[in-house]
Structure 1
Amino acid sequence: MHPVCSTGEPEGRQMNVNGTRTDTTVLVVDRTAAGRFALGVVLRRAGHQVVAVGSGHEALVELDVRRRKGTLPDVALVDVELPDMSGFELCRRLKARPHMAGLPVVHFSAGEVAPGDRGEGLEAGGEAHLAMPAEPEEIDAVVRAAVRAARLRADDQAVARRLSLLSEAIVGIQAARSPQELAEAAAEGTARLTGSPAAVFVLGPDDVLHRGTSRNRTSLALPDQGAHQAVVALLRRLAHGQAGVRITSVPAPLWPAGFFRPGVPHDARLVLIPTQDGTSAVCLATPTRGVRRVDPETESLLARLAQATALAAEPLLMYQVERHVALTLQHSFLPRPHRLPELPGVDVAVRYVPASRETEIGGDFYAALRTGEGVLVAVGDVVGHSLDAATVMVEIRHALRAYCVDESDPAVLAERLDRMLRLYHPGVTATVCLVLIDPGTGRTRIANAGHIPPLIVRDTGGAEYAKAAGPLLGPGLPHPPPTELFLEPGDRLLLVTDGLIETRGTDLAVSMEHLRAAAIGAMPGLDALCDTLLTSFGHEREDDIAMLALRLTN
C-alpha cells in the first residue's frame, strides 16, 4: 500500500488545508504514485479525507480491514487501468460483497471517456466516469454527488427495512390470542425496531397488568410485584384524560429497575396510548440510559405499533372479562364436590376442568340429584363457547332439578329439556346423558341425547359402553325409550363430556376406544379412575371437561 500524506488528525475526522473538519472519506485507487498524490491534494483541499492505494488487490485488502473496524470509506475513486485488474472488475467484486455493495464507485481514466468505457462502468455498478485531467471543482462535485446518492439510497433502504419490521410486528400482534401473548409480541416488535431491550405493558380493567419482555433481555429474574404496582400507578397517572399517543421520558428513580436488564436502573422512553373505550392502556417502553436516543422516525413507527397494539388489546381484554364472568357463573352453579347432596346407596366423584386460558368458555355441566325412584345423574354440554352457552347450561341444570321433583324417567326428562330449549332458546342445541339408578337393585335406565354413552367399568376387569343413543336436544326429534341395564356392586359407571377425549383429526370412535382401555387399566376406586383419565387425556385440551363417576355402596 502506498502511503499518503496525513494531517495528523485521528482517522475518520481530519482537517483539510483550510482548517475545516472533514466528514467524507475517499478511497483513491490509482496505479501511479503521482496520480494518487495529485488526487489526494485536490480532495483534501475540498474537505475530504483520503486513503490511497495502487492496485485492485490493495484496495480489497484495505476495504476488508476497514470493514472489520467499521470505518468503510464513503466513496471509491477508481482508475480504469490498474496493474492487476481493470477498474471495472474491481467495481464488480466490490458490488458482489454484501457489506460493500452500497459503496459508491466513480471511475476515472486519462483523456476522453469512450462510450464503451462509460457503459461498462455503469454495468459494473459504478456511479459516474471522470475524464482526466479534470478541474478540481468537477472532481469534488462528482464525488459529493456519488456520496449523496448513496446515502439517499441507504436511507430509503433503512426506511423500507423499518416498515417491513413494523409490518411483521403488527402481524404478530394480530395473531395474539390473549393479552399476555399480545404484550410479548409487541415487546419483540419494539425491540426489533429500536435495536434495544423492550418491555410492553397492557393495563386492563381493575388494574390487571400484562407484561411482555423482548428476547434480547438478559434472561434473569424479572422485577417483583412492587415494581409492577409502581408501573400500574405510573401508567394510570400518565393515561388519565389522555387521547391518542403520548411519548414521554421517565427518569430512573421513577421507573423501576430491572425491566430492561436485571437489576440495572434505566431512564425509560414510553410510548403510551389508551384503548378507545378509555378503560385500558398500552405502553411500549425502551431504555434511554446507555442507549442512543431513538430518532423521531423510529418514534413515529413505535407510535404506529402502539396504536396497533391498543386496537388488538381492546377485544382481547373485553373477552377476558367475559370469560371471567362466564367461569364465575359456571363454577357458581356447578355443585362443589364436597357439597354434593347425600345420595343413599351411591358413591359419586366429579371433576370439572376448564379449558386453557386462551380458549372460550364452554357449556359443560354435571348433576347428581335424589328422586323418588333413586338417584339421577347427568353430564351434558351446550353446543358453543361463550357467555350465552354458560347461561343456557345453568338454565338446563335448573330445569332438570325442577322436572325431577315429580318425574324420574330419564327419557321423559330428555323430552322436557328438549321442549324447554326449543321454546326459550331456538337454534341452540345441547347434548346430555341422563342416568337413573335404583341403588337397592342396581337397575339403571339411561337416556342419551347425542352424548358420549356411559362407560361401565366392571369389577371383573372389563369395560364397555352402554348401548344408549338418541338425538341431541334442540331439533325437536323424538327420543327413544331409555336403555336398561344392571350395575353390580363394585362396578363403576363413568360419564364424560367430549372435551376429555375429542382431538382434531382423530375419529371420536378411536378416542373412545382409547378411553375404554385407559379406564380398564385404572386403579380401583372412583377418584383413581377420574385422576387416571385426566392424567392420560386432560392436558392442554381445547374444550372444558366435565366428568362424573359412581358406584353402588351395597
Structure 2
Amino acid sequence: MRLIPDAGYARVPLEPAVVPGTGRPLDLSGAMLRSVSPVHLEYLANMGVVSSMSVSLIDRGRLWGLISCHHYAGPHRPSYADRTAAEFLGRTASLLLRTVVAESELDGIVDVAERAAELSAAVGRTPRALGAALTEQDVTVLDLLPAAGAAVRLGGQLRLLGTTPPAERVPGIVAALLAAGATATDAASSLVPDAADLVDTASGVLAVPVGPGDFLAWFRPETLREVTWGGNPYESKVAQTDDGPRLSPRRSFDAWSEIVRGTSRPWREHEVAAARALAGHLAAATLNRSEEDNRLAGALQRTLLLEELPKVPGVAMAARYVPSAEDVVGGDWYDLVPLPGGTLAVVLGDVAGHGLAAASVTAQLRHALRAHLLRAAGPAAALAMINEVTSALLPGEMATVVVAQLDPGTGEVVVASAGHLPVLHAHEGGAEYVMGGRGPALGVLDAPTYAEARLRLVGDDRLVLFSDGLVERGRGGLQSGLDALRQAVAGGPAAPEQLLESVLGALAPPGTDDVTVLALSRT
C-alpha cells in the first residue's frame, strides 16, 4: 500500500545519504514516509489530486490491479485503523483473485482438456496416419482451441483447416515466430512483419514444433478493441529542468478513446499448454513409429542379405555390407543367382530412399529379378523385364542395378547395367571400368533398351561391383572416389576377401550412406 497525504509536501533529504559502515542506500521499500517521484507529484497536480492512496492487488506474485483513492479538497491522512482495514481488504481480495480468475477460466480449461484427450487417443490408435488422425476425425486439431484456422505439418506434408493464411505462407510465418523465441502472440505483425497483411486471418498465432520442419499452428483473426484513456497517452511533453530535459505528464484527463487494430483475442496459458502437450504426444508417436519402422526394415533387409555366400566351383567371392551411420536401413542389396547351364548371375542394386519403404521395394525387385534371370536370354533381357515390372507395379520408384553373368568354366562375363555405377575389372596390367552395357535406371522410362558388354577373367583377374556409398566423396566428387577405388583395387591383394578389406580400409567411406561392395575371381 502507498499513501501520499499531501501531494504538495516538501521533500526532506535523508541524512546521511548512505548507511554508515555499508556505503549503501537505506532500503525504504516498506517505509510509509518514503518520497515519490516528482513526475508523479506533477501528474497528481495536473489531475487536481491533493491526497492519494493505492492498494495493490496481487495474483500469484504479479500485479493484477490497483485500488486508487483520490482526495481533492486538501491534504488528508487516513487513520491507522482505516489504512489497516484497506490493506486487509486488498490482501483478502488478492487471495480470492486466484479462485475468481480460475473459476472464469474453468469451463474453457475443461473443454480443452477433453478435446486434448480425444486427440491423444486418436494419435495412439493411428500412429501411421497421424495427419489423418488430427484432421479427418470427428474431433480435429482445430477443435482443440478456440481459433478460426489450424495448420498441421507432419512429414513435410501441410494440411490446413478452417480460415488460415495461404498455404505457401504458413511455414514462413511459423518459422519466423519460433525463431523469435515465441510460441504464441496476439499481435503477429509485431513479431513477424511479413504477416502485416494477414490480420484478417493471422493476427494471433500459436505454433509448436513437432520435429524438424514439422509443426502445429492455430490462427485467430483481428479483433477490434476500443480502449478509453484518461487523456491522450501519446501527447507526452518534454519539460526543461535544471537537470536537463525530462518527460512531463499529461495535463488533460478528458476521456480519450482509440480503436486498437492488428491484435486478436489473447491466448490463455492452458491453451498454450494443451498445444505443447499435443505436440509432445505427436513427437513421441513419430519416434515410436520410426523405431518400429527401423526394426521392421532391419528385419526385412536381413532377409535380403545373404548370411553366407554360396559355394560355386571355380569361383572365389566375398561381399561386404556397411549400413549408414545416419540411417538404420538403406536401399542397397546384392544377390548371387546360379543359372541353368552352370553360369552365375552376380547382382548389386540400390533403391532410391531409405527405411521401411526402400526395404520393401528392394525385396520386391530382388525376387522379381531372380525370376527373370532364370528365364531371360541374358542380363540385358532380364533388366528390360524388371523395368517393366517397376513401371507397372511400383510407379514413382527408382532403382539402379548391375548384373554380371559369369561362366566359371570359360571366364566369360556378360555385364548389363540399369543406371548403376560401372563394374571394375582388375587385371595384370591394372584396373579399368567396364563402360559398355549401360542403360537407364529402373522406373525412369517405360520401354528402354539395355545393352551388354563382354569380357573375360583370366589368371588373377578380379571383378568388383559396388554401390555409390563407397565412392561418393562430397566436395571431392564422384570421380575422385572412382579414381581412388581403381588405384586401391589395382594395387590390392588377389584374393577377394583380402581385397575388400584393403579397399574399405583405403577408401574409408564417410558413413553418410550405406556401402555394398562385392568381389569375385576365378580359382
TM-score w.r.t. structure 1 length? 0.48
How far apart, CA to CA, are the structure 2 residues paired with 1:72 and 1:390?
A: 74
Q: 258, 277, 281: which one pairs with 1:306?
A: 277
Q: 1:107 touches 1:130 (CA, 8 Å); kept in 2?
A: no
How far apart, CA to CA, are the structure 2 residues paired with 1:127 and 1:526?
A: 95
> Deviation string for 1:14-49 (max 9, x for gaps)?
xxxxxxxxx99xxxxxxx9x9256xxxxxxxxxxxx
Cα distance change of structure 1 residues 144 and 489 upon mapping to structure 2, 3 Å threshold:
same
Q: 286, 305, 318: which one pairs with 1:334?
A: 305
Aligned-pair identity in percent equals 31
Matched with 1:552 is: 522
Q: 474, 485, 499: which one pairs with 2:469?
A: 499
The answer to whether residue 17 in structure 2 is matched with residue 54 in structure 1 is yes
- SS where residue 35 of structure 1 aligns? coil
Structure 1: any 5+ residue segments left out of the alignment? 1-22, 25-31, 38-51, 80-105, 109-117, 119-125, 154-159, 178-296
> Deviation string for 1:40-68 (max 9, x for gaps)?
xxxxxxxxxxxx7528x99x9626xx9xx
User: How much is the aligned-residue C-alpha RMSD, in angstroms?
Assistant: 4.8
Q: 286, 302, 305: which one pairs with 1:315?
A: 286
Matched with 1:378 is: 347
Q: If each structure's strand is expressed as a fraction of its own residues, which one has the higher value?
A: 2
Matched with 1:531 is: 501
Cα distance change of structure 1 residues 76 and 415 upon mapping to structure 2, 3 Å threshold:
farther
Matched with 1:174 is: 211
Q: 1:414 touches 1:479 (CA, 8 Å); kept in 2?
A: no
1:473 deviation in Å?
1.9
Cα distance change of structure 1 residues 328 and 144 upon mapping to structure 2, 3 Å threshold:
closer
1:299 deviation in Å?
9.3
- SS where residue 473 of structure 1 aligns? coil
How far apart, CA to CA, are the structure 2 residues paired with 1:444 and 1:62?
A: 94
How far apart, CA to CA, are the structure 2 residues paired with 1:75 and 1:298?
A: 36
- The residue type paired with residue 347 of structure 1 is A
How far apart, CA to CA, are the structure 2 residues paired with 1:128 and 1:499?
A: 78
- The residue type paired with residue 175 of structure 1 is P
Alignment of 1:386-535 (within 5 A): 386-407=355-376, 409-460=378-429, 462-468=430-436, 469-474=438-443, 475-502=445-472, 507-520=477-490, 522-535=492-505
> Deviation string for 1:420-459 (max 9, x for gaps)?
2233223333211000122233222110110001112335
How far apart, CA to CA, are the structure 2 residues paired with 1:361 and 1:398?
A: 19
> Deviation string for 1:211-249 (max 9, x for gaps)?
xxxxxxxxxxxxxxxxxxxxxxxxxxxxxxxxxxxxxxx
How far apart, CA to CA, are the structure 2 residues paired with 1:500 and 1:152?
A: 66
Alignment of 1:124-203 (within 5 A): 138=52, 141=54, 164=181, 174-175=211-212
How far apart, CA to CA, are the structure 2 residues paired with 1:436 and 1:72?
A: 95
- SS where residue 293 of structure 2 aligns? helix
Q: 2:348 touches 2:465 (CA, 8 Å); kept in 1?
A: yes
Cα distance change of structure 1 residues 343 and 73 upon mapping to structure 2, 3 Å threshold:
farther
- The residue type paired with residue 174 of structure 1 is G
Q: 1:408 touches 1:436 (CA, 8 Å); kept in 2?
A: no
- The residue type paired with residue 484 of structure 2 is H
The answer to whether residue 4 in structure 2 is matched with residue 35 in structure 1 is no
How far apart, CA to CA, are the structure 2 residues paired with 1:383 and 1:127?
A: 76
- SS where residue 444 of structure 1 aligns? strand
Q: 1:434 touches 1:447 (CA, 8 Å); kept in 2?
A: yes
How far apart, CA to CA, are the structure 2 residues paired with 1:479 and 1:390?
A: 27
How far apart, CA to CA, are the structure 1 residues paired with 2:387 and 2:31?
A: 83
How far apart, CA to CA, are the structure 2 residues paired with 1:534 and 1:77?
A: 84
- SS where residue 341 of structure 1 aligns? coil
- The residue type paired with residue 330 of structure 1 is Q
How far apart, CA to CA, are the structure 2 residues paired with 1:107 and 1:499?
A: 73
> Deviation string for 1:273-319 (max 9, x for gaps)?
xxxxxxxxxxxxxxxxxxxxxxxx99987665433221222223223
1:324 deviation in Å?
1.9
- SS where residue 353 of structure 2 aligns? coil
- The residue type paired with residue 501 of structure 1 is V
- SS where residue 441 of structure 2 aligns? coil
- SS where residue 12 of structure 2 aligns? helix
Alignment of 1:283-302 (within 5 A): none
Q: 1:501 touches 1:537 (CA, 8 Å); kept in 2?
A: no
1:386 deviation in Å?
4.6
Matched with 2:296 is: 325
Q: 2:334 touches 2:348 (CA, 8 Å); kept in 1?
A: yes
- The residue type paired with residue 528 of structure 1 is Q
1:382 deviation in Å?
2.2
Larger RCO: Structure 1 or Structure 2 (Cα < 8 Å, ≥ 6 residues apart)?
2
> Deviation string for 1:400-423 (max 9, x for gaps)?
322333446211221222222233
Cα distance change of structure 1 residues 545 and 308 upon mapping to structure 2, 3 Å threshold:
same
- The residue type paired with residue 512 of structure 1 is L
Cα distance change of structure 1 residues 328 and 149 upon mapping to structure 2, 3 Å threshold:
closer
Cα distance change of structure 1 residues 345 and 165 upon mapping to structure 2, 3 Å threshold:
same
- SS where residue 515 of structure 1 aligns? helix
- SS where residue 449 of structure 2 aligns? coil
Structure 2: any 5+ residue segments left out of the alignment? 3-9, 66-176, 185-206, 215-267
How far apart, CA to CA, are the structure 1 residues paired with 2:270 and 2:418?
A: 59
The answer to whether residue 37 in structure 2 is matched with residue 107 in structure 1 is yes
- The residue type paired with residue 281 of structure 2 is A
Cα distance change of structure 1 residues 78 and 403 upon mapping to structure 2, 3 Å threshold:
same
- The residue type paired with residue 212 of structure 2 is A
Aligned length: 325
Matched with 1:250 is: none
- The residue type paired with residue 443 of structure 1 is E
1:72 deviation in Å?
10
Matched with 2:237 is: none
TM-score w.r.t. structure 2 length? 0.51
- SS where residue 62 of structure 1 aligns? coil
- SS where residue 405 of structure 1 aligns? helix
1:521 deviation in Å?
5.2
- The residue type paired with residue 530 of structure 1 is L
- SS where residue 445 of structure 1 aligns? strand
